Amino acid sequence: MDSIVVTGGSELRGEIPIAGAKNACLTLMPATILSDEPLTLTNAPRLSDIKTMTQLLESLGAEAASMQDGQVLTMSSHNLDNHVADYDIVRKMRASNLVLGPMLARLGHAVVSLPGGCAIGARPMDLHIHGLEKLGAEIELKDGYLHAKAPRGLKGAEIELAFASVGATENILMASTLAKGTTVIRNAAREPEIVDLADCLRKMGAQIEGDGTSEIVIQGVDRLHGATHPVVTDRIELGTYMLAPAIAGGEVECLGGKISLVESFCEKLDAAGIHVEETERGLKVARRNGRVSAVDVTTEPFPGFPTDLQAQMMAMLCTAEGTSTLHETIFENRFMHAPELMRMGANIEVHGGTATVHGVEKLKGAPVMATDLRASVSLILAGLAAEGETVVSRVYHLDRGYEKVVRKLSSIGAKVERVKE
């Protein structure tokens, strides 16, 4: 297993290109199931999660090809000949459950393994199931698999989500594009990845309005056709690299970034004393004077502060002047990075869903362990300004969500290397 060794203390300067969004790509790829014509995605990120989704689609009979070093993906679901999404693939990645809605809509039946628990919380699928049942699906849980069928086809319905779940909104949205009649999704998730999915589905011939708001209205059509679609910029990768100069000092331009993708996050950076400017090429971030100030953060569905940036934000707040509180409202067990940051000298108390971070002047490098995707990158960020060497082990989590992280950080002057253990 590889580790990443970070030697802290260098100011960061330069530019970092931000990739296409992992979470958008993971929902755009299953959309290919809805049509028998090819779907081409450009600006795809090169990540192990994307390979896992490719494997899953191939296991269902889809064909996939990648070009331009993986940045262009073409998938065709002309010959879907398997309707079982196997546990061996699904357990690797929760987003595998996004094949359920499209398979039901296109084939009329699907058997999809439940993804199981995950390090950051239970993550059930009740909202996905409720929505698809409203569309006329019959779903049963047997031997760890969801057995879903729609013997009379899917029919438009009014669906109110008890929580604005991203995955449930995506599954229901995809399924309803081919349902008979009108579907209304109330309390829908408003994330940019949902808007990107709706944009792509519209290119494929779907009739969708209201994406980006809490009410999405879909008029079902008989069939969808092929399309080419560029994946939206990864707002979580963007926020992560914006924190690098905020933590280590210096000035970095994140190419492709836009304030609209990270507005609530930028408000917190501003309150902490970080300068963010939108340029023609992206977002320029600078920390000019002294320590950052403490801020309070509550994670919320979009447009609120993203849970996927909470760990990285905590890394910055460890050395802020004053005491910050972080309330995690989306996942119940998402502070596993806190004890690791404490190994580096951070002063953090965790009580349930709230972490209180008393800022210290400096962190000290230490051996630490990555526990999940966003936690691993938060430890690297913390290491950028720590005294001495931080060795982050179990970095395979990183490959799921950050492409070329060592190269990108080195290019702005960070001392980072990947070593074999």
Q: Do 350 and 332 contact (CB within 8 A), yes or no?
A: no
Q: Do 362 and 387 contact (CB within 8 A), yes or no?
A: yes
Q: Which is nearer to ligand UD1, 97 or 183 (CB)?
A: 97
Binding site for ligand UD1 (CB under 6 A): 23, 26, 94-95, 121-128, 163, 165-168, 307-308, 330-331
Catalytic residue, candidates 118, 254, 266, 318: 118
* Shortest CB 31 distance to ligand UD1, Å: 13
* Shortest CB 247 distance to ligand UD1, Å: 22
Q: Do 109 and 132 contact (CB within 8 A), yes or no?
A: no
* Shortest CB 90 distance to ligand UD1, Å: 13
Q: Which is nearer to ligand UD1, 309 or 416 (CB)?
A: 309
User: What is the Cα–Cα distance from 96 to 191, expressed in whole angstroms?
Assistant: 19
Torsion of CA 82, 86, 88, 92, to 10 degrees: 100
DSSP state at residue 388 = S
Q: Which is nearer to ligand UD1, 113 or 390 (CB)?
A: 113
User: What is the Cα–Cα distance from 364 to 344, expressed in whole angstroms?
Assistant: 5
Residue of this chain nearest to ligand UD1 (CB atom) = 167
Closest among 368, 419, 421 to 1, alpha carbons compared = 421
The token pair that represents 126 in the structure block: 């009740």
The DSSP code sequence of 98-113 is GGHHHHHHHHSEEEEE
Q: For the chain, how far is it from start to end, CA to CA, in angstroms?
A: 6
Closest among 122, 120, 96 to 110, alpha carbons compared = 96
Cα torsion angle, 161, 165, 171, 175, sign: positive
User: What is the Cα–Cα distance from 169 to 213, expressed in whole angstroms?
Assistant: 12
Q: Which is nearer to ligand UD1, 23 or 77 (CB)?
A: 23
Closest among 83, 65, 81 to 73, alpha carbons compared = 65
Q: Do 218 and 188 contact (CB within 8 A), yes or no?
A: no
Q: Which is nearer to ligand UD1, 251 or 308 (CB)?
A: 308
* Shortest CB 241 distance to ligand UD1, Å: 17
β-sheet with 282-287: strand ranges across:
12-17, 250-255, 282-287, 275-278
User: What is the Cα–Cα distance from 364 to 397, expressed in whole angstroms?
Assistant: 23
Q: Which is nearer to ligand UD1, 3 or 241 (CB)?
A: 241
Assess whether 318 carries a catalytic annotation.
no
Q: Which is nearer to ligand UD1, 154 or 168 (CB)?
A: 168
Closest among 355, 403, 397 to 376, alpha carbons compared = 397
* Shortest CB 98 distance to ligand UD1, Å: 7
* Shortest CB 126 distance to ligand UD1, Å: 5
Ramachandran area for residue 359 (φ above 0: left; ψ -120 to 50: alpha; else beta): beta
* Shortest CB 307 distance to ligand UD1, Å: 5
Q: Which is nearer to ligand UD1, 171 or 390 (CB)?
A: 171
Determine if the peptide bond prior to 301 is cis (ω within 30°).
no
* Shortest CB 308 distance to ligand UD1, Å: 5
User: What is the Cα–Cα distance from 200 to 229, expressed in whole angstroms?
Assistant: 6
Active site residues: 118
